[in-house]
Amino acid sequence: MKISLQLKLGQQLSMTPQLQQAIKLLQLSTLDLQQEISQALESNPMLELVEYDDSDQVGADDAQLNNKNVLEIARHEDAKSEDRPEHTDSGEDIDWSHHSSSEPNETQWDQSYSGSAGSAFDGESGDYESRNTASESLQDHLNWQLNLSHLSDRDRLIGEAIIDSIDTSGRLTSSIQELVESFADEDEIEEDEVLAVLHRIQHFDPVGVGYRSLSECLLIQLKLLDELNNPTLAAAKLIVADHIDLLASRDYSQLMRKTRLKEAELSAAISLIETLNPQPGADISPPSTNYVIPDVLVSKDFDSGAWRVELNPDVAPKLRINADYAALVKRGDSSDDNNFLKDNLQEARWFLKSLQSRNDTLMKVATRIVEHQVGFLEHGEEAMKPLVLHDIAEAVEMHESTISRVTTQKYMHTPRGIFELKYFFSSHVSTAGGGECSSTAIRAIIRKLVAAENTRKPLSDSKIAEVLQEKGINVARRTIAKYRESLNIPPSNERKRLAAD
């Protein structure tokens, strides 16, 4: 084999630090972006927050950013404008009347980056409730009642062990035998003692806590009701104690046969059972509320009939380069101090440009999504159109991976609620007319059909498929079952009721 030298010309993508930073910021959620900005402010002396008292500079920055970010999607096809771009596939137009034609140059971004007033960085603001409210656990609530009870030290010790074995829903996770064995070092604690303390705890607030089965939990609550005011109480106790499995499967014919109840009596007993709480401990320490800060705001201008898309000004703080420090940089000076200032100045410029690139990309993608899903904004889920990442990537001339990063953990506030950008993407199903129907629209139709069905004869998956077929939507029964399960709708046999609501 002869060794030789060859000259080859080719192209390859180099992941520069600037590109890596831009990609990193692009995929960050709002909270992660705020943390990243906070770290940049701490590590780079060239960056600073724009304070509230800098009203002139802030106003100029806000005007510049708003002119760039505010777009309108016009719904009237016959409106004439010289600045209007070409029609899109959805038949909707973009109104660029609020969009500045001038892009911010490098000099402008050397001065400032305007995002928001920086509420997340203001020590006096924020979620007051989350910072000042101490949540009480179920164990704390039960131990408080245990300490108020007149119990011996021995029973109190047993009660503490029982409470420690209760989960957040109120269920006892340990058996009586396991609790007895846990007191091996104590003086021969019997099962009867543990049961006695358990029955005492089961009548603590909330009633039924410490239950070992669903039947026991419901029976405890039923026994506290007044039989004179609840004529169906005896029937409810019978069903819960002996036929809870038939009730769970909604086998009403078997229930009436075994309990010898008439349909009206059975319906009244079931109505009483449905007022009970199967998880009494869940209300004591509810899960913490997660607040979502939308990245994009969508609103409708009713005068012009146009949909406006703009970035949320409260997502990130206002940043700019410190002019005093930037003035200290000297050309031709290779001292350590000057190199430190130059390096930080360059990093600050890259960071501000990456933030602007993130906002530009987010605006492009959000605008295309709103443009494509005007039907959803106007009429709801049933008007949702099929949309995949490739459609948006082709429209904004970017790669699908970039669109995936932009739409992950980014939220849009619309008059119909707050949605993740990925919510607007869905697969399609063919229609009889040769068109396409979004899977999201099909789910909305299924939800609507189930809500309007006769509860005595609920619609089966096959029947729902037939109804959609009549509407011109070709969907298989197994696809209906998959969509129904994704909506947390039980099958038809579990939706059956004795009487319509």
Cα-based angle 472, 475, 480 (whole degrees, multiple of 5): 130
What's the pTM?
Answer: 0.66
Residue type, 198: L
Tokens of 386: 């099929």
Q: Contact, 96 vs 106, CB < 8 A?
A: no
Q: Contact, 423 vs 381, CB < 8 A?
A: no
**Strand bridging mode 436-438 / 428-430:** antiparallel
The three-state secondary structure class of 199 is helix
Nearest CA to 314 out of 117, 138, 55 is that of: 117
In tens digits, the chain (501 residues) has pLDDT values of: 678 888 888 777 677 777 788 888 888 888 888 889 999 999 999 999 887 544 444 444 443 443 333 344 433 333 433 443 443 333 333 343 333 333 444 333 344 444 443 444 444 444 444 444 556 789 999 999 999 999 999 999 999 999 999 999 999 999 999 998 888 766 678 899 999 999 999 999 999 999 999 999 999 999 999 877 888 999 999 999 999 999 988 888 899 999 999 999 999 999 999 999 999 998 887 666 677 889 999 999 888 889 999 999 888 778 889 999 898 888 778 888 889 999 999 999 999 999 999 999 999 999 999 999 999 999 999 899 999 999 999 999 999 999 998 999 999 999 999 999 999 998 877 777 767 888 888 999 999 999 999 888 899 999 999 999 888 888 889 999 999 998 999 888 888 887 543
Q: Would you say the C-alpha torsion 172, 174, 176, 182 has a positive or negative sign? A: negative
Q: Which domains does the chain have, with CATH numbers?
A: 17-126+295-414 (no CATH), 138-283 (no CATH), 426-494 (1.10.10.60)
- Please give the distance of CA 455 from its chain centroid, rounded to a whole number: 31
Is the previous residue joined to 280 through a cis bond, with omega within 30 degrees of 0?
A: no
Length of the chain: 501
**Strand bridging mode 47-49 / 296-301:** unpaired
Distance CA 399, CA 487 (A): 31
Question: 420 pairs with which residues across the strands?
Answer: 411
Nearest CA to 33 out of 44, 21, 45 is that of: 21
Question: 166 pairs with which residues across the strands?
Answer: 172
The three-state secondary structure class of 458 is coil
Distance CA 375, CA 390 (A): 20
What H or E segment, with its residue span, contains residue 493? none
Distance CA 373, CA 393 (A): 16
Neighbours of 368 (CB within 10 A): 24
Tokens of 285: 């320490």
Query: Which residues are CB-contacts of 90 (< 8 A; sequence separation ≥ 6)?
Result: 371, 372, 374, 375, 385
